[in-house]
Amino acid sequence: MENKVMRIIAEISEVNESEIRMELELVDDLEVDSMMSLEILTELEREFDIRISEKDLADFVTVGDIFNFVKEKVDEKK
């Protein structure tokens, strides 16, 4: 799961996947803008069959925030 989340963020932010780390900030470190954020949200929903609201999206500061949210949603489905 972690690799899939990292891959999606890397592809959309156009940062090499090997450089993506949990502590990196989406805006400050990866230069993710609002359009990229929506793309990430859409891809994560599709990949993991989960729902992410735009309100939740506003809470994502780091890559780790996204991963933890996705993991929680996936675990809830089990």
Q: What is the pLDDT of residue 78?
A: 79
> pLDDT per residue over 9-24, tens digit each?
999 999 999 999 999 9
Residue tagged active-site, from 28, 33, 49, 59: 33
pLDDT surpasses 90 at 31: yes
- pLDDT band with cut points at 50, 70 and 90 for residue 57: confident
**Where do the domains of the chain lie, and which CATH numbers do they carry?**
1-77 (1.10.1200.10)
| Helix axes of 34-48 and 63-77: crossing angle, nearest 10 degrees | 30
Residue 65 tokens read as 């925030």
Q: What is the pLDDT of residue 54?
A: 80
Mean pLDDT score of the chain, rounded to an integer?
Answer: 95
For residue 39, the number of C-alpha atoms closer than 13 Å in the C-beta half-sphere is 13
Residue 56 appears among annotated catalytic residues: no
Element (H, E) at 36: helix 34-48
pLDDT > 70 fraction of the chain, expressed in percent and rounded: 100
